[in-house]
Structure 1
Amino acid sequence: MLSATRGFLSYAVSIAEVPRSVLGQLYELGDSRDLPAEAQGEDSGLFYRLRARHRLQEPETEVDRASDEEIVGMFMECRCARDRLVVLLLGRVGLRRGQAAGLHRSDCHMLADSRALGCDYKGPHIHVRRRENANGAWSKSRESWIQPVDFLVVQAYDQYADERFALLGAGGSDFLLVNLFRGVLGAPMTPEAIYELFERLTRRAGLSRKVGPHMARRAFGSNVSDAGGELDEVQALLGQKHPESARPYVIPDRARLREAVERVPSPRELYGRGER
């Protein structure tokens, strides 16, 4: 809007609709005489330059991670195995809600040896793929990648598989996360449904703030870093293309910051008591 206003008034000056003094209010005026010789170019003539006086300083958007206590509190308030798996897929695996909602059962290899499934990757893992999905879910990452998972996710997955079979049998769609209790049973969950689930869990857990799905993803990236993971490892686990893309997801736990301060020795420890 500032750029458009400056352009409009500059044009008005050029057609003599407003006085030239307006330019002095919009821009800091300068000329080539104060520039070093190498910056004046081949043309030795005098030329003017403008620098906008008014610039909007946009405040930085504050980002935060969910704390481990918040994720555990939400996990404990889940009323079914499916919801517990959703919380872990975001807070323990680091998926976006669209990636979680877009998972198919065939993407989940929860065996120690997946060669029987035609996959040579060792250990339990998930294939995160970008595809067109009927529920509107999609992966923001253009490239597909393999995401290793730990025993907690495997256990939650097995419990959900039992719950799903008890309610739907072998039916339902090929999507991993489906409706079990309302709506069209067996239909895939949507990313919006995952967002609404986090809102409900926040209220049930009595948290002092709303914890969204992306805050759980940041918690995963931060926890990997807190545990000694390198930035390139965080990047790979988040499915990002460049290591620097992972930096905003690394938000140290406040307890770790406190420990870092307390590890700094006092001057007395360094130089001895009474010494200068």
Structure 2
Amino acid sequence: MRRRPNAHRAWSKSKREWVQPLDVLVVQAFDQYVDERLERLGAGGSDFLLVNLFGAPLGAPMSPAAMGELFDRLSERAKLERKVGPHMARRAFGSNVADADGSWDEVRMLLGQEHPGSVAPYVIPDRSRVREAVERVASPRELSGRGVR
């Protein structure tokens, strides 16, 4: 949904709302965030989902730069070999759904994409799945009935 003017000029690309199913870990993490947000800011505040809880100005919408810094810190804390950003997490989610036998229309719906072709950049197949696909293709010898020697 398009947002009213705000400090970061943030807005959703979509003109429509969609429901985003979440797994139990995301719900638990969100509950923890809400508890921390209430503890730091009280009941009032912004209608934005993510707000500054540690940096100034407290309670203001989190800027894209602050979100990047958060992902950098979380990447280091998780001892990842490389930093993970928000867009990389989005791509990983789309790929994970596809690798779990999710159809493109399911991936499209979960990512909030309107056009089917918009899913392609978000789906990077797991290398083992690609290898399995190659191995499923019959060789010319198998097709001719001579078998593999």
Residue 130 (str. 1) matches residue 41 (str. 2):
no
- Secondary structure of the equivalent of 1:146? coil
Partner of 1:227: 100
State whether residues 130 and 144 of structure 1, in contact with CA within 8 Å, keep that contact through their aligned partners in structure 2: no
Q: TM-score, normalised by structure 2?
A: 0.79
State whether residues 108 and 116 of structure 2, in contact with CA within 8 Å, keep that contact through their aligned partners in structure 1: yes
Residue 154 (str. 1) matches residue 35 (str. 2):
no
Partner of 1:24: none
CA apart distance, 1:164 = 1.6
Structure number having the greater strand percentage: 1
CA apart distance, 1:198 = 1.7
Partner of 2:65: 192
Alignment of 1:42-61 (within 5 A): none
How many residues matched? 148
CA apart distance, 1:141 = 2.3
1:19-68 CA-partner distances (Å, limit 9, x unpaired)? xxxxxxxxxxxxxxxxxxxxxxxxxxxxxxxxxxxxxxxxxxxxxxxxxx
State whether residues 72 and 83 of structure 2, in contact with CA within 8 Å, keep that contact through their aligned partners in structure 1: yes
Residue identity matched to 1:139 = S
**Aligned alpha-carbon RMSD (Å):** 2.9
Q: TM-score, normalised by structure 1?
A: 0.46
CA apart distance, 1:266 = 8.2
**Residue 188 and residue 225 in structure 1: after superposition, are their counterparts in 2 closer, same or farther (change >3 A)?**
same
1:180-219 CA-partner distances (Å, limit 9, x unpaired)? 1221222221122112222233334443333221111111
Partner of 1:112: none
Instruction: Answer with 136-145 or 201-210: which moved more.
Output: 201-210
Structure 1, unaligned runs of 5 or more: 1-128
The separation in 2 between residues aligned to 1:226 and 1:154, in whole angstroms, is: 23
Partner of 2:81: 208
